[in-house]
Copies of this chain bind each other. A is one copy, B any other.
Amino acid sequence: MKVIIVGGVAGGASCAARLRRVDEKAEILLVERGPYVSYANCGLPYHVGGSIEKESDLLVATADMFRHVFAIDCRTSCEVVGISADKKMVELKNHLTGEVTTEKYDKLVLSPGSAPIRPPLPGIELPGIFSVRTVADAVNMRKWLERDIDRSVGNSFTGIDTVSKPKNAVVIGGGFIGLEMVENLIERGLNVTLLEKLNQVMPPLDTEMARLVERYLAKHKVTVELSNGVAGFRKAATGGLEVLTEKGNAIPADIVVMAIGVKPELSLAKMAGIEVGARGGMRVDEQMRTSNPDIFAVGDAVEVKDFMTGEWTLIPLAGPANRQGRIVADVIAGRKARYRGTQGTSICKLFDATIAQTGISEKTLKRIGDTDYEKVYLYPNSHAGYYPGAKIMVIKFLFRKSNGKVLGAQVLGEDGVPKRIDSFAMAIQMGCTIYDLEESELCYAPPYGSAKDPVNFAGMVAADILRGDMPIVHWEALDGGFILDVRNPAELEVESIKGAVNIPLPQLRARLSELPKDKEINVLCRSAQRAYYATKILLQNGYKARNISGGMLARSHRAD
């Protein structure tokens, strides 16, 4: 059995290592076009920022390790330049020697990854415009940031400030890599503008949750321009570059980072003549087999099933790539294995905050026309409020109206976010309902959580809604009706809703007669907790009432 694996990062590397473990006798050839196998592409932004100081730290495993520990014929700087699927043969070019050779295979595994999108815009070829894909990209960006810029152009008269380090950066694209680059450039002391064509950053989030991220970016002095794409680049009169936008402004930039997304590398797929799906990735079955039964594909370049929506999707993430690589090795070795699909778990560090999500978002539900869902917004403390360091986290939680199944969660905060998102992720994988979450026995001690963990709390609030105990209304559905604000007068001075009637919660029972029995009363407070108590009181006293979900906090980051 001879297996050729093309692409030595994430999916390809884990496939090779696993295959050796399950088949000591297989002949394995691992081919990588670049100089390194198994490098930490997720770490590249942090090498630019400096928190991963040494280039060598980015090299997770070396070609030598593959050779000596795994007995794998590992060739770097070696590119597949031809595939003959009929003859089960590939043509390899050694970039160091220029030599071209051919190799036969029994099974071929393609893990080409994806390439940063670089549209053919005017000026795109100018020096100083970077993408974030390889170790070389990160190293070159660092060098570029450490160089001196001659500012004397157009400034020759005064001669002041003629030489300086790069000051202004423009990051184009507000997804994971874009945000990580923003953070790392800010950490290096640059002025950063984030240009985003969509009307929100971080596309997996719903727009109103992204508003919180945009607010947080502004707090960190990042200039965020939404709904404004890049139109081109030009040299500035004063040295450096200018980024020209679709709205017509020109943003000065000593460095530009292109992070508008990635697209599957399909050159190998074309050579092999295998099927490509509508999303632009190689089409594979549950065993990661392409349309050619002897060719497998894994990682960023394949389409996988989102098991929440049933749709084909692209997920350029390392976790799934690794699992897929493992699965292909097992399948080739004649074992039972299948990729269960993705559920869209992802996470991103942004300064002191964490942004994470799992499962399905509301905008995806809307896109696929699924209306069998409800949502809640929660603002719990990350741990017991009386223990120092507790931070409020924001949770948007989605669940099935008809049966209570957990659908998705988006969590933002400065403490405890990864823990909650992984609990939600595990819950979704196992088909949990909100009633299960109510009863989950999660760890509690004051430094780590609360006796009712935010995950329990999400289940409890959701269950109150589905059990019919707590009618709610969302801000976007509030149609100018009667609003009862149960906060304290001091809170209303900071921000209040025009026309709302104020009765502080502790006075509510005594002042019920002030309220109309014939109107729907929309009850408001800061986070919807006191409004919850108030709604309970009203309902049980014969009023029509509903809680304004998320209260003033949810209003503060409305998308519209």
Please give the residue numbers on chain A whose beta carbons come within 8 Å of chain B beta carbons, in ascending order: 10, 20-25, 40, 42-43, 46, 51-52, 57-58, 60, 68-71, 176, 317-323, 326, 340, 342-349, 354, 356, 358, 384-388, 416, 418-419, 421-423, 425-427, 429-432, 436, 438-449, 451-453, 455-456, 460, 469, 505-506, 509, 530, 532-533, 536-537, 539-541
In the docked arrangement, what's the CA distance between A26 and B325, Å? 60
Which interface residue of A358, A441, A453, A539 has the most chain B CB atoms within 10 A? A441
Asked if residues A423 and B423 are in contact (CB atoms below 8 Å), the reply is yes
Q: How far is the CA of A441 from the CA of B424 in the complex (A)?
A: 10
Nearest Cβ distance between residue A421 and chain B, in whole angstroms? 5
A430 touches B426 (CB 8 A): yes
Which residue of chain B has its CB nearest to the CB of A60?
Answer: B386
Cβ distance A440 to chain B, nearest Cβ, rounded Å: 6
Closest-CB distance, A504 to chain B (whole angstroms): 10
**A40 and B385 alpha carbons, distance in the complex (Å):** 10
Closest to A411 in B: B443
A243 to chain B, nearest CB (A): 27
Residues of B close to A505: CB separation below 8 A? 69
Partner of A425 from the list B46, B440, B451, B541 (CB cut-off 8 Å) is: B440
Neighbouring B residues of A455 by C-beta, 8 Å: 422
Contact status A43-B436, CB under 8 Å: no
CB contact under 8 A between A52 and B441, given known A69-B506, A322-B452, A451-B319: no
B43–A451 CB distance below 8 A? no
| Cα A537 to Cα B20 with chains together (Å) | 9
Contact among B57, B71, B419, B539 for A419, CB-based, below 8 A: B419
24 A-B pairs with CB atoms under 8 Å apart are A22-B536, A40-B446, A42-B446, A42-B451, A46-B446, A57-B386, A60-B385, A70-B533, A319-B451, A319-B453, A322-B451, A322-B452, A345-B443, A347-B444, A347-B445, A348-B445, A349-B447, A358-B441, A421-B443, A422-B423, A422-B442, A423-B425, A429-B436, A430-B436
Count of identical protomers in the assembly:
2
In the bound complex, what is the Cα–Cα distance between A349 and B343 (angstroms)? 32
CB-defined contacts of A460 to chain B, threshold 8 Å: 326
Q: Which B-chain residue is minimally distant from A426 (CB atoms)?
A: B426
Query: In the assembled complex, which residues on chain B have CB atoms less than 8 Å from the CB atom of A423?
Result: 422-423, 425-426
Assuming the contacts A443-B421, A443-B422, A448-B418, asked whether A42 and B384 have C-beta atoms less than 8 A apart, the reply is yes
**Are the CB atoms of A21 and B533 closer together than 8 Å?**
yes
A523 → chain B, closest Cβ, in Å? 14
By a CB distance below 8 angstroms, the chain B residues around A340 are: 439
Tell me which of B58, B425, B448, B453 contacts A442 (CB under 8 A): B425
Q: In the bound complex, how far is the Cα of B469 from the Cα of A183, in angstroms? A: 44
Of residues A429, A469, A539, which shows the largest number of chain B Cβ atoms within 10 Å of its Cβ? Answer: A429
Whole-angstrom CA separation of A333 from B464 in the bound complex: 14
**A453–B422 CA distance with the chains assembled, in angstroms:** 11
- CA A274 to CA B460, docked complex, whole Å: 31
> A52 and B388: CB pair below 8 A?
yes
Cα–Cα distance between A56 and B425 once the two chains are bound (Å)? 37
**How many Å lie between the Cα of A513 and that of B80 in the bound state?**
37
What is the bound-complex CA distance between A429 and B440, given in angstroms?
7
Flag if B540 contacts A40 (CB, 8 Å).
no
Best-buried of A323, A438, A443 by chain B (most CB within 10 Å) = A443
Q: For A432, what are the chain B residues with a Cβ–Cβ distance below 8 Å?
A: 426, 430
- What is the CB-to-nearest-CB distance from A344 to chain B, in angstroms, rounded to a whole number? 8
Is A46 a contact of B387 with CB atoms below 8 Å? yes
Query: Closest approach, in angstroms, between the C-beta of A388 and any C-beta of chain B?
Result: 6
Select which of B57, B60, B319, B443 is within 8 A of A358 by beta carbon.
B443
